[in-house]
Amino acid sequence: MSPSPDFTQMWRDLEPLGRSSASGGYFRQPFTSAEREAASWFLEQCRDRGLDVTADEYGNVVAWWRPENASGAGVLTGSHLDSVLDGGAYDGPLGVVSALAAVDVLRDRGFTPARPIGVSVFVEEEGSRFGLACLGSRLLTGATTVEQARDLRDRDGVFFVDAVAEAELPAGAGRLRWADLREQVACFVELHVEQGRDLVDRDAPVGVASAIWPHGRYRFDFGGEANHAGTTRMEDRHDPMLTYAMTVLAANKQARLSGQRATFGRVDVHPNGTNAVPSRVTAWLDARAESEEHLAALVAEVERLARERAGLDGTSVVLTPESVSPEVAFDADLAKRIAGADGWPVIPTMAGHDAGILSAAGLPTAMLFVRNPTGISHSPAEHAETGDCLAGVEALAATLERLAS
Ligand code: HGY
Ligand code: MN
Ligand code: MN
């Protein structure tokens, strides 16, 4: 397969946006200049291709390839451009660039879709700034209301609604509405870099998703008593850091024992001084499990152990689920149709995606995964070989051709 100049050029264009020179990772938090630059780049690509851009009031975009005689419910494809803090280049952008490249491939082949094809970008998929994953697609579909989003703030106290109000959104924002989109498309296909090693083990460059594990984000507020690090006897302390530390170990152990996933990746300590016993530790548990029952049991057990330890430490624990996403079973017929001809493996994923939100909103949905040689993701080391990315573009183009004919 000869490399597609469209894909490689687009990849080069995006590469510097939001990349840290220190780590090589990406900081494309929603409505920051880096993420808005990436969003502008996408709009420019859409304009160059003559796509009709529609957007909602939060910055979600769908750009349409709608040839004159195209009619009926079409196909939506795309992903996101935001990243986790110090994330990789591929998580999100690969699906956006591949969608545009697939349109190019189909046009180069002289294919005219009988149904419209939409290319989408959803904002704040990672929840890296405002805490709620897939915030853009949740707002678009109504899974989260604007009233609920009003309370969301970033780490500097900036409200989501204020960040949106100050951001430069595409002209005509407001034209994109879920009720219309739901009628305009028959299905959504999101291409994504794989975030594990399943495709490596199966020796396949491309795979199709079967399901998303249920998962959630849970905030633990550990309260204690601030005191002097030198003069306070060890037995007199009420140290929330100890309760927190034991909870991290307990979560890891319980997840291992039950074959599930539990991670504390974010912590906030007050007052965060070297020579003071802290008064408060706030930490976020990311938990994922093979079923909703397993997820609930895992979180309940971590909470029980945290409370038990708090009793010993003389501290307090308050647990707040910030978001819980139920299991998503993707449309099995659609997955079979996509995987069938080429025999691509159909595999579950433990990562969340906008595709899960659209599926939960009733839109038949599928995902294509592109092999990731190390499986590393949410890290500057995330990678996919160009040959596999181009295989992904081919797979997406073939899928769009099949679904939009
Ligand atoms: O966090 C996730 O599962 C996804 O990568 N957004
Ligand atoms: Mn991600
Ligand atoms: Mn992603």
Q: Which helix (H) or strand (E) holds 120?
A: strand 117-122
Distance of CA 206 to the CA centre of its chain: 19
Q: Give the burial class of 158: count Cβ atoms within 10 A of its Cβ; 0-12 exposed, 13-18 middle, 19 or more buried.
A: middle
The reply to whether ligand 1 has any atom less than 6 angstroms from the CB of 351 is yes
| pLDDT recorded at residue 173 | 83
125 lines ligand 1 (CB under 6 A): yes
Is the distance from the beta carbon of residue 382 to the nearest atom of ligand 1 less than 6 Å?
no
- The structure tokens listed for 373 are 């040689």
Q: Give how far Cα 306 sits from Cα of 190, 248, 280, Å.
A: 38, 9, 15
- CA gap 280, 267 in Å, rounded: 11
- Residue-by-residue pLDDT tens, the chain, 405 positions: 444 448 999 999 999 999 999 999 999 999 999 999 999 999 999 999 999 999 999 999 999 999 999 999 999 999 999 999 999 999 999 999 999 999 999 999 999 999 999 999 999 999 999 999 999 999 999 999 999 999 999 999 999 999 999 999 998 788 999 999 999 999 999 999 999 999 999 999 999 999 999 999 999 999 999 999 999 999 999 999 999 999 999 999 999 999 999 999 999 999 999 999 999 999 999 999 999 999 999 999 999 999 999 999 999 999 999 999 999 999 999 999 999 878 999 999 999 999 999 999 999 999 999 999 999 999 999 999 999 999 999 999 999 999 999
- Write the DSSP symbol of residue 234: G
What's residue 3's pLDDT?
A: 40
Ligand 1: does its nearest atom lie under 6 Å from the Cβ of 367? no
E-strand spans in 271-384?
276-277, 280-288, 316-325, 328-329, 346-349, 365-370
**HEC sequence for 171-230:** CCCCCCCHHHHHHHEEEEEEEEECCCCHHHHCCCCEEEEEEECCEEEEEEEEECCCEECC
Q: Is the dihedral of CA 112, 358, 210, 334 positive or negative?
A: negative
Q: In angstroms, what is the span from residue 367 Cα to ligand 3's centroid?
A: 11
Place of tokens 């660039």: 97
How would you classify the pairing of strands 280-288 and 261-270? antiparallel
Q: How far is the CA of 334 from the centre of ligand 2 (A)?
A: 23
Q: Which ligand is nearest to the CA of 261?
A: 1
pLDDT value, residue 4: 46
For residues 97 and 105, give the distance between their C-alpha atoms in angstroms, rounded to a whole number.
12
- 151 three-state secondary structure: coil
Ligand 1 centroid distance, CA of 195 (Å): 9
Assign a CATH topology to domain 215-325.
Alpha-Beta Plaits (3.30.70)
- Virtual torsion, Cα 154, 158, 163, 166, nearest 10 deg: -160
Topology alike, domains 6-213+327-404 and 215-325: no
Mutational test site, ligand 1, from 29, 79, 82, 84, max ligand atoms within 8 Å of CB: 84
Long-range contacts of 198-201 (CB under 8 A, 24+ apart): 198/345, 198/347, 199/345, 199/347, 199/369, 199/370, 199/371, 199/372, 200/371, 200/372, 200/373, 200/375
Tokens of 385: 């070989």
Whether the upstream peptide bond of residue 271 has omega within 30° of 0, thus cis, is yes
- Find out whether 29 and 128 touch, Cβ atoms under 8 Å: yes
**Site of tokens 């678009």:** 140
pLDDT of residue 171: 82
pLDDT of 341 reads 75
Roughly how many angstroms between the first and final C-alpha of the chain, as a whole number?
24
Of 194, 195, 350, the residue with max ligand 1 atoms within 8 A of its CB, to mutate for a pocket test, comes to 195
Using alpha carbons, list the distances in angstroms from residue 111 to 327, 344, 402: 36, 24, 11
Third-level CATH fold of 6-213+327-404: Aminopeptidase (3.40.630)
Q: Which amino acid is at 134?
A: C
Residue 1, pLDDT score: 42
CA of 94 relative to ligand 3 center, distance in Å: 9
Domain definitions of the chain by residue range = 6-213+327-404, 215-325
Q: So what's the pLDDT on residue 22?
A: 98
Q: Which is nearest to 248 in space by CA: 294, 292, 283?
A: 283
pLDDT at residue 2, rounded to an integer: 44
Could you give the CA distance from residue 259 to residue 280 in angstroms, rounded to a whole number?
Answer: 31
Instruction: Residue 285: name the closest of 328, 221, 232, 224 by CA.
Output: 221
Give the start-end residues of each E strand in 25-116: 52-55, 61-65, 74-80
350 Cα nearest atom in ligand 1: 3
Distance of alpha carbon 143 from alpha carbon 131, whole angstroms: 15
Neighbours of ion ligand 3 (CB under 5 A): 91-92
